[in-house]
Structure 1
Amino acid sequence: MRLSTRVGLAVGCTVPLLVLASGWLLTHLVARDLHRAGDQHLRRRAAAIAPDARALLRASAGNRPRAADVRERQLFSAALDVGVRVQGPDGVFSGGPQPGPSARLPERATGPFTVRDGARSWRGLARPVRGGTLWVFAPDTADRAQVLLVRRRVVFTALLAAPASGVLAWALAGGVSAPLRRLTRRTAGLDPRTSGVRLEPERTGVTEVDELSSTLRTVLARYDEQAARTAEALDTARSFSSAAAHELRTPLMSMGTNLDVLGLPGLPDADRDEALADLRLEHARLRHLLVMLRELGRGDLVEAETFDVVDLADLADTAVAEVRRRDRAADIALDAETGLTVPGWEPGLRLLLDNLLANALAHGRDPAGVARIRVEVRRAGQEAVVVVADQGPGIPPEFRQRLFERFQRGPDSTGSGLGLTLVAQQAALHRGGVGVTDGPHGAGARFEVRLPLDGTGVPGRRDWLIGTAASGGPAAGTNRSQGFPKDAS
């Protein structure tokens, strides 16, 4: 059912009820006013004829018939337009319009009352006089034909108002809903799956329609956003499978070769042990590679709702304690500014710290083979700075530009080549950057991550697993940080 039809029916049903209710109230008020005027007239008549009624009762009690007849005529003459009934110990005297003898009068009346005599209704008033009771009566004017006529006209008006108000409301509702129909026509041709055309802002003057239009634009914008995120997720899944297939090919071929060697008859124990060691190494590398690819894809798909306030000092303390537990021979110093927080994704920031520490443990050992690592978390203006420095051989300047790209490994590295890529991804995700310079006193490597303290809580770049050229490639995240100043401390 159309909105205009609903409004027309609602008004067409409501208006007659309002007319009937108003008419009933009006008739009730008119009847009450008529009662009040009639009762006032009865009081005046009763006060005027009360002396004659007392005289009539005295004459009747003194056995003076002639005097009683005279008093009775005087009483009825003074009554004028009301009926009179005088009730005394010696009889009842009545005259004028009044209910018949069969009508039952109240035994004790303190004010005006209504009594019915067949189809007629009377207003009455009783007044005690010496020796009896004086009753005066008048027809009930509230039941007169005029009042009945008013009631009939109210009913007729209600019946006439039903269709008239319904049609008028339908016409008005049709005009008012015209902007809504225009909005319907504008949105009917929109198909967000096949077209990028969207609603343009248009003021109609009707608040509800404008709000609905704004809501539709918001819904379509959210649809576009989710569609883009779905496309990104599909691209990430395709890139994940492609990267995994490419990177797993070599270790799987190596594992296959070792399995063939193990199947040779008469294989010496030394060769068998070497093949098994290679298999264990390749198995660990495969498992680590899959974990790193999973974390890279997870970072690309993180949503803004997962961002919260993260305490970097506590996070660094936890990460360092875990590394100390795994490698008790490592010398790790932590200098963290207490209470330093940033808006971010806590699992991602923990992954950033873990990978920097793992990289320092793997490649940052001094000539004596001891990992000496310094971790610093501090505030620098409107940024939080995380520094991980080691005493290892360092990183040649010509290799630093490609250090954070996917699957970039040094000549002696047995890792997946994704650890530092994950660090760069998380820095970019938090709208920050990462850079590498020489370590303290020119020895080792010094990794520095800068994160904004007043971030918007909206993830930054998220295409590290896809790595398209349009986005500048994964290494683009390091350009911002190549100019980080070397911290001599």
Structure 2
Amino acid sequence: MNLPRERARRRPTMRLSTRIALAVGVLVPLLVIAAGILVVRWVTADVTRRQDIALRQRAEHLAPDARALLRAVENERENAVRARENKLLDGALDLGVRVELPGGPVSAGPQPPANVPLPDARHRGPVTVRADGKAWRVVSRPLGAARGGAGTLRVFQPTTETDARSALLRRRVLVVAAFAVPISALAGLVVGAGATRSLGALRRRAAAIEPDDDARPDVHVPSGVAEVDDLGRTLAVVLGRYDTQTARTREALETARAFAATVDHELRGPLTGIRTDLDVLAAYPGLTPAERGEILGDLTAGQERILSLLASLRALAQGDLADEQAFERVDLGELAHEAARDARTRHPGADVLVSAPQEIRVHGLRPGLRLLLDNLIGNALVHGRGPDGAASIRIGVHADAGGAARIRVDDDGPGIPIERRDQVFERFRRGPDSPGAGLGLTLVAQQVALHRGHVAIGTVPPGSGTRVEVLLPGRRADEPTGAPGQIRRDWLTREPTESGAGPQEPHRQPT
């Protein structure tokens, strides 16, 4: 049992719009709180800075009166001391003031208790002092030396107002964050639903696709959402590949059915003849050697015909199922020399010459092009012998001015009548003296169509013999051979009477 797959199937699912709503509902309050904390700190720092400036200014303003009080105390003038105290305390207004004198402190206004440690007088401040849950900002100013010790002025301001403002801001931030949770979640749900609407439409279009529906709508419709459009284009590409593969599978099935049906139909005659010959041999053991030799010859011819037919049908089926990825750069001149050399090996008395003055490469299927040359040469060796019975085959491979490759195969035979030149490319078209299965030139036409070329039958100048000319267009290695459906792939499945004009266009007479 595949436990990871089982767990993956049991994993709960959640709609994308719900995920967006949850993410927004959590993220927005967190952002509000984080922004609120920063704002509270900035506002508190700004208010504290302003208060510190005012506190320093008040301390500088009170310092002369504090020094006058220190001098009055030093001179022991009671009336002057009281007058200076009153003036100093009146100038303090709502602030706390403490003047530390040699004889004891003089203080008034809000300030920490006397037992709370204060900063050194040399630290001019402001400094925060805390006691009993309260806090003050204090500024210290030294007043100079006097008999019995030095004097110090301290000015205090409670931080109650600043703390109250900070607390109010914090409460407001929390209130805003509390309200942001449902509002942001609802907004996220709305935004998520809008963002996933295009995905929903894409899903519905994809779900509506039916196999073998040529009139189906395009699965990709531009929505304005980049991610959805990328997904739609990717899905369209995948579906295109699926359609191509489905069509190829269908073609393969049709080819297999046609192969089986054709083999059954075409082998019935030779096998029946072989069975008859075997029955004759079994029923008449007293046949003369000449009669027995004739029957054995018929058996051998039938067996060779069966092998030729099977090989040709297999090649025809392979051509119908040829894959464009198997195409490569092929040197036609080299391929022609190989085909001629093999033909001379099979037919020692034949004269097979090749003229390929330059290297000519085409983007094609190497086995298919070799099959094309073998069948053209084989057809010329069978039907293109001269009156004396000798076989002289000339093969020419040349390049046109436009970059196309031209293959010519000439023989010295009696030629083919004009009215039969298109028919010879049809399946199972055999001459009365032909030993083959009638598929040689059909294979030639198939390979020409597969390579998007043209084939034509004419007469060798000045008018004797047969010339078969194949024109293959020049094509770069990165250029496709053609879109699906533009190349004929029914050479095995189409009935022979429907084959008509051979490759892909009407044949032209070679010049």
TM-score (norm 2): 0.77
Please state if 1:124 is matched with 2:138. Answer: yes
Match of 1:409 among 430, 435, 454: 430
How many residues align? The count is 482
* Deviation of 1:136 (Å): 2.8
1-structure distance, mates of 2:70, 2:282: 146
Please state if 1:357 is matched with 2:377. Answer: yes
Q: Which residue is equivalent to 1:19?
A: 32
Q: Which residue is equivalent to 2:45?
A: 32
Q: Which residue is equivalent to 2:10?
A: none
Q: Which residue is equivalent to 1:348?
A: 368
1-structure distance, mates of 2:113, 2:133: 12
* Deviation of 1:94 (Å): 4.5
SS at match of 1:447: strand
SS at match of 2:509: coil
* Deviation of 1:376 (Å): 2.4
1-structure distance, mates of 2:320, 2:231: 34
How far does the alpha carbon of each residue in 1:167-212 deviate from its partner, in whole angstroms, 9 at most, with x for none? Answer: 3443455466556656656665x35148655227997865466776
* Deviation of 1:457 (Å): 1.6
Please state if 1:476 is matched with 2:505. Answer: no
RMSD: 4.1
Contact 1:308 1:457 in 2 (8 A): no
Q: Which residue is equivalent to 1:457?
A: 481
Question: Residues 401 and 32 of structure 1: is their aligned pair in 2 closer, same or farther, counting only changes over 3 Å?
Answer: same
SS at match of 1:198: coil
1-structure distance, mates of 2:345, 2:134: 110
How far does the alpha carbon of each residue in 1:219-253 deviate from its partner, in whole angstroms, 9 at most, with x for none? Answer: 66655554443332221111111112222334444
Question: Residues 272 and 51 of structure 1: is their aligned pair in 2 closer, same or farther, counting only changes over 3 Å?
Answer: farther
Q: Which residue is equivalent to 2:268?
A: 249
Question: Residues 104 and 244 of structure 1: is their aligned pair in 2 closer, same or farther, counting only changes over 3 Å?
Answer: farther
Decide which moves more: 409-418 or 217-226: 217-226
Aligned-partner residue type, residue 463 of structure 1: D
Pairwise mapping of residues 358-373 of structure 1 onto structure 2 (< 5 A)? 358-366=378-386, 367=388, 369-373=390-394
1-structure distance, mates of 2:495, 2:315: 18
**Identical columns (%):** 46
Match of 1:292 among 298, 306, 312: 312
SS at match of 1:476: coil
TM-score (norm 1): 0.80
* Deviation of 1:343 (Å): 4.3
Question: Residues 84 and 272 of structure 1: is their aligned pair in 2 closer, same or farther, counting only changes over 3 Å?
Answer: farther
SS at match of 1:411: coil
1-structure distance, mates of 2:348, 2:487: 37
1-structure distance, mates of 2:306, 2:101: 126
Pairwise mapping of residues 69-88 of structure 1 onto structure 2 (< 5 A)? 74-86=87-99
Decide which moves more: 20-29 or 420-429: 20-29
2-structure distance, mates of 1:196, 1:449: 35
Pairwise mapping of residues 39-438 of structure 1 onto structure 2 (< 5 A)? 39-55=52-68, 62=74, 64=76, 66=78, 74-86=87-99, 94-106=107-119, 109=123, 111-131=125-145, 134-140=153-159, 143-171=162-190, 173-174=192-193, 190-193=208-211, 197-199=215-217, 206-207=224-225, 223-256=242-275, 261=281, 282-307=302-327, 310-320=330-340, 323=343, 330-336=350-356, 338=358, 340-366=360-386, 367=388, 369-379=390-400, 381=402, 383-397=404-418, 399-438=420-459
2-structure distance, mates of 1:13, 1:476: 73
How far does the alpha carbon of each residue in 1:415-434 deviate from its partner, in whole angstroms, 9 at most, with x for none? Answer: 33222111101112222221
* Deviation of 1:466 (Å): 0.7
Contact 2:202 2:220 in 1 (8 A): no
Contact 2:111 2:136 in 1 (8 A): yes
Please state if 1:467 is matched with 2:494. Answer: yes
Question: Residues 27 and 246 of structure 1: is their aligned pair in 2 closer, same or farther, counting only changes over 3 Å?
Answer: same
SS at match of 1:78: helix
Question: 5+ residue gaps in structure 2?
Answer: 1-13
Aligned-partner residue type, residue 38 of structure 1: Q
SS at match of 1:156: helix
